[in-house]
Copies of this chain bind each other. A is one copy, B any other.
Amino acid sequence: MVDFSVNAKGMRSSEIRHLMKLAANPSIISFAGGMPGNELFPVDVLDELYNGLSRNAKQVALQYGPTPGYPPLLDSLKSYLQSRGLPFEKQGLIITTGAQQAINLMTKVLIDPGDLIVTEYPSFIGAVAAFKSYGANLTSIELDSDGIDIDKLEKTIDGRASQIKMLYLSPHFHNPAGIIYSEERKRALIKLLSGRPFCLLEDDPYGELYFDEADKPLTVPIKACAGESLPVCYVGTFAKIFGPGLRLGWLLAPQPVIEKCELAKQSMDACSPTFTQVLAHEYLSRGKLAPYVAWVRPIYARRAKLMLDALGETMPDGVSWTTPKGGFYVWVTLPPTIDSTEVLSRSMAEGAAFVIGSAFDPHGVRNNTFRLAFSYTPEEKIEKGIAIIADAIKALM
Protein backbone atom coordinates (compact mmCIF):
# COMPACT_ATOMS: atom_id res chain seq x y z
CA MET A 1 0.00 0.00 0.00
CA VAL A 2 1.61 3.15 -1.23
CA ASP A 3 1.27 6.55 0.42
CA PHE A 4 -0.45 8.55 -2.29
CA SER A 5 -0.35 11.85 -0.45
CA VAL A 6 2.85 12.75 -2.31
CA ASN A 7 0.84 12.87 -5.50
CA ALA A 8 -2.01 14.98 -4.28
CA LYS A 9 -0.53 18.24 -5.51
CA GLY A 10 -0.37 19.15 -9.16
CA MET A 11 -1.76 15.84 -10.36
CA ARG A 12 -2.71 15.70 -13.94
CA SER A 13 -6.28 14.63 -13.35
CA SER A 14 -7.19 17.24 -10.79
CA GLU A 15 -5.67 19.70 -13.22
CA ILE A 16 -7.93 18.40 -15.95
CA ARG A 17 -11.01 18.55 -13.78
CA HIS A 18 -10.13 22.08 -12.81
CA LEU A 19 -9.66 22.97 -16.46
CA MET A 20 -12.94 21.47 -17.51
CA LYS A 21 -14.62 23.71 -14.96
CA LEU A 22 -12.66 26.64 -16.35
CA ALA A 23 -13.51 25.69 -19.90
CA ALA A 24 -17.16 25.59 -18.90
CA ASN A 25 -16.76 29.16 -17.66
CA PRO A 26 -16.54 31.16 -20.88
CA SER A 27 -15.21 34.23 -19.10
CA ILE A 28 -11.90 32.47 -18.25
CA ILE A 29 -9.21 32.29 -20.93
CA SER A 30 -7.38 29.07 -20.16
CA PHE A 31 -3.79 28.29 -21.14
CA ALA A 32 -3.78 25.49 -18.57
CA GLY A 33 -4.94 22.47 -20.56
CA GLY A 34 -2.20 20.36 -22.13
CA MET A 35 -4.66 19.11 -24.72
CA PRO A 36 -5.89 19.88 -28.24
CA GLY A 37 -8.80 22.27 -28.54
CA ASN A 38 -12.00 20.25 -29.03
CA GLU A 39 -12.57 21.97 -32.39
CA LEU A 40 -9.27 20.52 -33.69
CA PHE A 41 -10.23 16.84 -33.49
CA PRO A 42 -10.76 15.03 -36.83
CA VAL A 43 -14.45 14.30 -36.30
CA ASP A 44 -15.26 13.98 -40.02
CA VAL A 45 -12.47 11.43 -40.39
CA LEU A 46 -13.83 9.58 -37.36
CA ASP A 47 -17.29 9.40 -38.97
CA GLU A 48 -15.77 8.09 -42.18
CA LEU A 49 -13.75 5.46 -40.31
CA TYR A 50 -16.63 4.30 -38.11
CA ASN A 51 -19.11 4.10 -40.96
CA GLY A 52 -16.56 2.23 -43.09
CA LEU A 53 -16.26 -0.60 -40.55
CA SER A 54 -17.77 -3.95 -41.49
CA ARG A 55 -20.22 -5.64 -39.13
CA ASN A 56 -17.48 -8.12 -38.32
CA ALA A 57 -15.04 -5.32 -37.45
CA LYS A 58 -17.60 -3.76 -35.10
CA GLN A 59 -18.04 -7.14 -33.38
CA VAL A 60 -14.27 -7.43 -32.98
CA ALA A 61 -14.23 -3.86 -31.64
CA LEU A 62 -16.63 -4.90 -28.85
CA GLN A 63 -14.63 -8.05 -27.93
CA TYR A 64 -11.57 -8.60 -25.74
CA GLY A 65 -8.29 -8.35 -27.59
CA PRO A 66 -4.80 -9.70 -26.92
CA THR A 67 -2.91 -7.87 -24.16
CA PRO A 68 -0.11 -6.56 -26.47
CA GLY A 69 -2.72 -5.00 -28.75
CA TYR A 70 -5.12 -5.54 -31.66
CA PRO A 71 -2.87 -7.35 -34.16
CA PRO A 72 -3.74 -5.23 -37.25
CA LEU A 73 -2.97 -2.07 -35.23
CA LEU A 74 0.37 -3.51 -34.11
CA ASP A 75 1.18 -4.01 -37.81
CA SER A 76 0.06 -0.57 -39.00
CA LEU A 77 1.74 1.10 -36.03
CA LYS A 78 4.97 -0.75 -36.79
CA SER A 79 4.91 0.60 -40.36
CA TYR A 80 4.32 4.12 -39.05
CA LEU A 81 7.12 3.89 -36.48
CA GLN A 82 9.51 2.45 -39.05
CA SER A 83 8.73 5.46 -41.25
CA ARG A 84 9.97 7.59 -38.34
CA GLY A 85 13.23 5.65 -38.30
CA LEU A 86 12.54 3.47 -35.28
CA PRO A 87 14.23 0.06 -35.12
CA PHE A 88 12.37 -3.22 -34.64
CA GLU A 89 15.18 -5.75 -34.45
CA LYS A 90 15.08 -7.52 -31.05
CA GLN A 91 12.38 -5.02 -30.03
CA GLY A 92 8.80 -5.57 -28.94
CA LEU A 93 5.78 -3.31 -29.29
CA ILE A 94 2.83 -3.11 -26.90
CA ILE A 95 -0.29 -0.94 -27.13
CA THR A 96 -1.00 0.79 -23.83
CA THR A 97 -3.98 2.62 -22.34
CA GLY A 98 -2.46 6.01 -23.09
CA ALA A 99 1.23 6.88 -22.87
CA GLN A 100 0.58 7.24 -19.13
CA GLN A 101 0.14 3.48 -18.84
CA ALA A 102 3.36 2.85 -20.78
CA ILE A 103 5.27 4.98 -18.26
CA ASN A 104 3.47 3.30 -15.38
CA LEU A 105 4.26 -0.20 -16.72
CA MET A 106 7.94 0.65 -17.20
CA THR A 107 8.07 1.82 -13.59
CA LYS A 108 6.22 -1.23 -12.30
CA VAL A 109 8.53 -3.71 -13.99
CA LEU A 110 11.87 -1.89 -13.47
CA ILE A 111 11.67 0.06 -10.21
CA ASP A 112 11.86 -1.08 -6.60
CA PRO A 113 11.08 1.36 -3.78
CA GLY A 114 14.14 3.52 -3.18
CA ASP A 115 15.58 3.13 -6.69
CA LEU A 116 16.74 6.36 -8.29
CA ILE A 117 15.16 7.83 -11.44
CA VAL A 118 16.82 10.81 -13.11
CA THR A 119 14.43 13.27 -14.77
CA GLU A 120 14.70 16.58 -16.49
CA TYR A 121 13.78 19.76 -14.66
CA PRO A 122 11.07 20.65 -15.41
CA SER A 123 9.40 17.31 -16.11
CA PHE A 124 6.02 15.84 -17.09
CA ILE A 125 3.64 15.65 -14.11
CA GLY A 126 2.15 12.29 -15.07
CA ALA A 127 5.54 10.57 -15.25
CA VAL A 128 6.67 12.00 -11.93
CA ALA A 129 3.40 10.84 -10.33
CA ALA A 130 3.89 7.31 -11.72
CA PHE A 131 7.50 7.20 -10.48
CA LYS A 132 6.48 8.35 -6.99
CA SER A 133 3.57 5.88 -6.84
CA TYR A 134 6.13 3.03 -6.91
CA GLY A 135 8.33 4.63 -4.25
CA ALA A 136 11.14 5.79 -6.57
CA ASN A 137 13.56 8.48 -5.49
CA LEU A 138 13.95 11.27 -8.02
CA THR A 139 16.73 13.62 -8.93
CA SER A 140 16.39 16.17 -11.72
CA ILE A 141 18.79 17.88 -14.10
CA GLU A 142 18.10 21.31 -15.64
CA LEU A 143 17.13 21.75 -19.27
CA ASP A 144 18.54 24.53 -21.40
CA SER A 145 17.22 25.50 -24.82
CA ASP A 146 19.06 22.55 -26.46
CA GLY A 147 18.11 19.83 -23.98
CA ILE A 148 19.34 18.34 -20.72
CA ASP A 149 22.56 19.75 -19.21
CA ILE A 150 25.09 17.08 -20.18
CA ASP A 151 27.78 18.11 -17.69
CA LYS A 152 25.40 17.99 -14.76
CA LEU A 153 23.97 14.70 -15.99
CA GLU A 154 27.47 13.22 -16.23
CA LYS A 155 28.28 14.31 -12.67
CA THR A 156 25.05 12.80 -11.38
CA ILE A 157 25.67 9.54 -13.21
CA ASP A 158 29.27 9.33 -12.01
CA GLY A 159 28.29 10.11 -8.44
CA ARG A 160 25.30 7.79 -8.07
CA ALA A 161 25.71 5.26 -10.86
CA SER A 162 24.80 2.20 -8.82
CA GLN A 163 21.53 3.69 -7.58
CA ILE A 164 20.21 4.88 -10.94
CA LYS A 165 17.66 2.59 -12.60
CA MET A 166 16.18 4.90 -15.22
CA LEU A 167 16.66 8.19 -17.02
CA TYR A 168 13.41 9.77 -18.20
CA LEU A 169 13.59 12.29 -21.08
CA SER A 170 11.16 13.95 -23.45
CA PRO A 171 13.29 15.34 -26.28
CA HIS A 172 10.68 16.84 -28.62
CA PHE A 173 8.60 19.94 -27.80
CA HIS A 174 8.96 19.20 -24.14
CA ASN A 175 6.05 19.30 -21.70
CA PRO A 176 6.25 21.79 -20.02
CA ALA A 177 9.51 23.37 -21.23
CA GLY A 178 8.53 23.69 -24.90
CA ILE A 179 12.11 23.08 -26.12
CA ILE A 180 13.47 20.52 -28.56
CA TYR A 181 16.82 18.77 -28.17
CA SER A 182 19.45 19.77 -30.71
CA GLU A 183 21.07 17.04 -32.80
CA GLU A 184 24.39 17.77 -31.04
CA ARG A 185 22.80 17.31 -27.63
CA LYS A 186 21.26 14.01 -28.68
CA ARG A 187 24.66 12.82 -29.92
CA ALA A 188 26.36 13.86 -26.69
CA LEU A 189 23.66 12.13 -24.69
CA ILE A 190 23.96 8.89 -26.63
CA LYS A 191 27.74 8.97 -26.16
CA LEU A 192 27.41 9.61 -22.42
CA LEU A 193 24.79 6.89 -21.89
CA SER A 194 26.19 4.11 -24.07
CA GLY A 195 27.00 1.01 -22.07
CA ARG A 196 25.53 2.34 -18.80
CA PRO A 197 23.62 -0.20 -16.75
CA PHE A 198 20.33 1.70 -16.61
CA CYS A 199 17.43 2.30 -18.94
CA LEU A 200 16.62 5.39 -21.01
CA LEU A 201 12.87 6.02 -21.17
CA GLU A 202 12.17 8.34 -24.12
CA ASP A 203 8.73 9.97 -24.07
CA ASP A 204 7.67 11.42 -27.44
CA PRO A 205 4.04 12.59 -27.50
CA TYR A 206 4.62 15.72 -29.61
CA GLY A 207 7.28 14.76 -32.19
CA GLU A 208 4.85 15.01 -35.13
CA LEU A 209 3.82 18.54 -34.25
CA TYR A 210 6.72 20.62 -35.63
CA PHE A 211 5.75 24.02 -37.02
CA ASP A 212 8.32 24.19 -39.81
CA GLU A 213 9.16 21.32 -42.19
CA ALA A 214 12.82 22.35 -41.88
CA ASP A 215 12.74 21.25 -38.22
CA LYS A 216 11.49 17.75 -39.00
CA PRO A 217 15.04 16.26 -38.74
CA LEU A 218 15.12 17.41 -35.12
CA THR A 219 12.24 15.05 -34.35
CA VAL A 220 14.10 11.83 -35.10
CA PRO A 221 13.77 9.86 -31.85
CA ILE A 222 16.86 9.13 -29.75
CA LYS A 223 15.89 5.46 -30.12
CA ALA A 224 16.24 5.86 -33.89
CA CYS A 225 19.67 7.54 -33.57
CA ALA A 226 21.15 5.26 -30.93
CA GLY A 227 22.76 1.99 -31.84
CA GLU A 228 22.53 -1.28 -29.95
CA SER A 229 24.87 0.02 -27.26
CA LEU A 230 21.99 2.11 -25.93
CA PRO A 231 18.74 0.17 -25.54
CA VAL A 232 16.04 2.83 -25.40
CA CYS A 233 12.44 2.31 -24.29
CA TYR A 234 10.32 4.57 -26.47
CA VAL A 235 6.83 5.81 -25.54
CA GLY A 236 4.35 7.41 -27.94
CA THR A 237 0.64 8.16 -28.12
CA PHE A 238 -2.33 8.83 -30.37
CA ALA A 239 -3.41 11.60 -27.97
CA LYS A 240 -1.97 14.51 -29.96
CA ILE A 241 -2.29 13.04 -33.46
CA PHE A 242 -5.88 11.70 -33.23
CA GLY A 243 -7.43 12.16 -29.78
CA PRO A 244 -6.62 11.54 -26.09
CA GLY A 245 -10.11 10.09 -25.52
CA LEU A 246 -9.07 6.97 -27.44
CA ARG A 247 -6.64 6.23 -24.55
CA LEU A 248 -4.06 4.64 -26.82
CA GLY A 249 -0.32 4.87 -26.45
CA TRP A 250 2.51 2.47 -27.11
CA LEU A 251 5.85 1.26 -25.85
CA LEU A 252 8.62 0.12 -28.22
CA ALA A 253 11.40 -1.49 -26.19
CA PRO A 254 13.76 -4.46 -26.03
CA GLN A 255 11.75 -7.69 -26.15
CA PRO A 256 12.44 -8.80 -22.53
CA VAL A 257 11.11 -5.47 -21.23
CA ILE A 258 7.97 -5.79 -23.36
CA GLU A 259 7.37 -9.32 -22.07
CA LYS A 260 7.44 -8.11 -18.48
CA CYS A 261 5.18 -5.18 -19.36
CA GLU A 262 2.72 -7.55 -21.02
CA LEU A 263 2.50 -9.65 -17.87
CA ALA A 264 2.02 -6.54 -15.74
CA LYS A 265 -0.64 -5.19 -18.12
CA GLN A 266 -2.58 -8.46 -17.98
CA SER A 267 -3.46 -7.82 -14.37
CA MET A 268 -3.70 -4.04 -14.83
CA ASP A 269 -6.46 -3.83 -17.45
CA ALA A 270 -6.15 -7.09 -19.51
CA CYS A 271 -6.08 -5.15 -22.80
CA SER A 272 -6.48 -1.61 -24.07
CA PRO A 273 -9.85 -0.69 -25.59
CA THR A 274 -10.33 -2.80 -28.71
CA PHE A 275 -12.98 -0.35 -29.86
CA THR A 276 -10.57 2.55 -30.21
CA GLN A 277 -7.74 0.28 -31.42
CA VAL A 278 -9.90 -0.77 -34.39
CA LEU A 279 -10.47 2.91 -35.22
CA ALA A 280 -6.78 3.79 -34.75
CA HIS A 281 -5.81 1.00 -37.12
CA GLU A 282 -8.18 2.37 -39.78
CA TYR A 283 -6.73 5.84 -39.15
CA LEU A 284 -3.19 4.65 -39.85
CA SER A 285 -3.87 2.13 -42.58
CA ARG A 286 -6.15 4.46 -44.57
CA GLY A 287 -3.51 7.19 -44.50
CA LYS A 288 -5.43 9.66 -42.33
CA LEU A 289 -2.59 10.59 -39.99
CA ALA A 290 -0.41 12.52 -42.45
CA PRO A 291 -3.16 14.85 -43.76
CA TYR A 292 -4.46 15.46 -40.24
CA VAL A 293 -1.10 16.53 -38.81
CA ALA A 294 -0.40 18.56 -41.97
CA TRP A 295 -3.68 20.40 -41.31
CA VAL A 296 -3.22 20.91 -37.58
CA ARG A 297 0.49 21.93 -37.53
CA PRO A 298 -0.04 25.46 -38.94
CA ILE A 299 -2.96 25.98 -36.55
CA TYR A 300 -0.75 25.27 -33.54
CA ALA A 301 2.03 27.34 -35.14
CA ARG A 302 -0.30 30.36 -35.49
CA ARG A 303 -1.44 30.01 -31.89
CA ALA A 304 2.18 29.81 -30.73
CA LYS A 305 3.14 32.88 -32.75
CA LEU A 306 0.23 34.88 -31.35
CA MET A 307 1.28 33.86 -27.85
CA LEU A 308 4.96 34.71 -28.41
CA ASP A 309 4.05 38.05 -29.97
CA ALA A 310 1.78 38.86 -27.04
CA LEU A 311 4.47 37.86 -24.53
CA GLY A 312 6.98 40.10 -26.31
CA GLU A 313 4.60 43.02 -26.25
CA THR A 314 3.35 42.75 -22.69
CA MET A 315 5.88 41.07 -20.39
CA PRO A 316 8.07 43.25 -18.18
CA ASP A 317 11.86 43.01 -18.11
CA GLY A 318 13.10 40.11 -16.03
CA VAL A 319 10.54 37.67 -17.42
CA SER A 320 11.81 35.16 -19.98
CA TRP A 321 10.23 32.33 -21.93
CA THR A 322 11.07 29.54 -24.33
CA THR A 323 10.37 29.77 -28.06
CA PRO A 324 8.76 26.52 -29.18
CA LYS A 325 9.36 25.04 -32.63
CA GLY A 326 6.37 22.74 -32.18
CA GLY A 327 4.15 21.05 -29.63
CA PHE A 328 1.79 22.76 -27.18
CA TYR A 329 3.83 24.76 -24.64
CA VAL A 330 5.69 27.90 -23.65
CA TRP A 331 7.59 27.82 -20.35
CA VAL A 332 7.85 31.16 -18.58
CA THR A 333 10.47 32.05 -15.97
CA LEU A 334 9.84 34.93 -13.57
CA PRO A 335 12.34 36.79 -11.44
CA PRO A 336 13.32 34.51 -8.52
CA THR A 337 11.34 36.52 -5.99
CA ILE A 338 7.99 36.02 -7.71
CA ASP A 339 5.84 33.04 -6.92
CA SER A 340 3.67 31.84 -9.80
CA THR A 341 0.87 30.83 -7.44
CA GLU A 342 0.36 34.51 -6.66
CA VAL A 343 0.43 35.33 -10.36
CA LEU A 344 -2.17 32.64 -10.99
CA SER A 345 -4.40 33.90 -8.23
CA ARG A 346 -4.39 37.45 -9.64
CA SER A 347 -4.76 36.24 -13.23
CA MET A 348 -7.71 34.04 -12.39
CA ALA A 349 -9.47 36.97 -10.77
CA GLU A 350 -9.12 38.84 -14.06
CA GLY A 351 -9.99 35.84 -16.24
CA ALA A 352 -6.86 33.95 -17.35
CA ALA A 353 -5.43 30.58 -16.22
CA PHE A 354 -2.24 28.52 -16.57
CA VAL A 355 -0.40 25.82 -14.57
CA ILE A 356 2.10 26.89 -11.90
CA GLY A 357 5.71 25.73 -12.21
CA SER A 358 6.01 23.71 -9.01
CA ALA A 359 3.65 21.14 -10.56
CA PHE A 360 6.49 20.28 -12.96
CA ASP A 361 9.26 20.20 -10.36
CA PRO A 362 9.77 16.57 -9.30
CA HIS A 363 10.34 17.95 -5.80
CA GLY A 364 7.33 20.26 -5.98
CA VAL A 365 9.32 23.32 -4.84
CA ARG A 366 10.61 25.68 -7.54
CA ASN A 367 7.75 27.99 -8.43
CA ASN A 368 9.04 31.14 -10.17
CA THR A 369 7.92 29.52 -13.41
CA PHE A 370 4.71 28.55 -15.14
CA ARG A 371 3.44 26.68 -18.20
CA LEU A 372 1.34 28.23 -20.93
CA ALA A 373 -0.40 25.89 -23.37
CA PHE A 374 -1.43 27.45 -26.67
CA SER A 375 -3.01 24.23 -27.98
CA TYR A 376 -6.42 24.60 -26.40
CA THR A 377 -7.12 28.31 -26.76
CA PRO A 378 -8.78 29.89 -29.82
CA GLU A 379 -6.64 32.52 -31.59
CA GLU A 380 -8.86 35.46 -30.75
CA LYS A 381 -8.45 34.93 -27.00
CA ILE A 382 -4.68 34.56 -26.79
CA GLU A 383 -3.60 38.21 -26.83
CA LYS A 384 -6.13 39.21 -24.17
CA GLY A 385 -5.23 36.28 -21.92
CA ILE A 386 -1.50 37.01 -22.04
CA ALA A 387 -2.16 40.67 -21.27
CA ILE A 388 -4.05 39.67 -18.13
CA ILE A 389 -1.16 37.49 -16.95
CA ALA A 390 1.40 40.22 -17.76
CA ASP A 391 -0.60 42.71 -15.69
CA ALA A 392 -0.66 40.26 -12.79
CA ILE A 393 3.12 39.86 -12.97
CA LYS A 394 3.71 43.62 -13.19
CA ALA A 395 1.58 44.14 -10.10
CA LEU A 396 3.87 41.76 -8.18
CA MET A 397 7.20 43.22 -9.38
Contact = CB atoms under 8 A, between A and B. Distances in A.
Interface stretch (A76-84, A257-265, A353-361): A257-265
A13 B62 contact: no
Interface in A41-58: 41, 43, 46-47, 50-51, 55-56, 58
Contact of A35 (B2, B64, B97, B111): B64
A109 B245 contact: no
A243 B266 CA distance: 18
A320 interface: no
A270 B64 contact: no
A245 B39 contact: no
Contacts of A294: none
A247 B272 contact: yes
A301 interface: no
A38 interface: yes
A36 to B, nearest CB: 8
A329 interface: no
Contacts of A323: none
Contacts of A101: 268-269
A110 interface: yes
A233 interface: no
B35 A59 contact: no
Q: Which of A41, A97, A111, A279 has the most CB of B within 10 A?
A: A97
Nearest to A8: B263
A271 to B, nearest CB: 7
A30 B180 CA distance: 52
A112 interface: yes
Interface residues of A, number: 76
Interface in A90-136: 96-98, 100-101, 104, 108-112, 115, 126, 129-130, 132-133
B133 A267 contact: yes
Contacts of A268: 100-101, 104, 130, 268
A273 interface: yes
Contact of A244 (B64, B98, B108): B64
A40 to B, nearest CB: 9
Contacts of A242: 62
Contacts of A109: 1-2, 4
Given A1-B109, A100-B269, A39 B59 contact: yes
Contacts of A266: 7, 11-14, 126, 129
Contact of A13 (B39, B56, B66, B246): B66
A258 B55 CA distance: 38
A273 B273 contact: yes
28 contacts: A1-B108, A4-B109, A4-B264, A7-B263, A8-B263, A12-B266, A13-B66, A13-B67, A13-B266, A14-B67, A17-B66, A35-B64, A38-B59, A38-B62, A38-B63, A39-B59, A41-B62, A43-B58, A43-B59, A43-B62, A61-B243, A96-B269, A97-B272, A100-B268, A100-B270, A130-B268, A245-B274, A247-B275
* Those 8 A-B pairs whose CB atoms lie nearest each other, nearest first: A62-B243, A245-B274, A13-B67, A129-B267, A38-B59, A130-B267, A13-B266, A247-B273
Given A2-B108, A7-B263, A60-B245, 6 more contacts: A17-B66, A17-B67, A39-B59, A63-B244, A64-B239, A245-B275
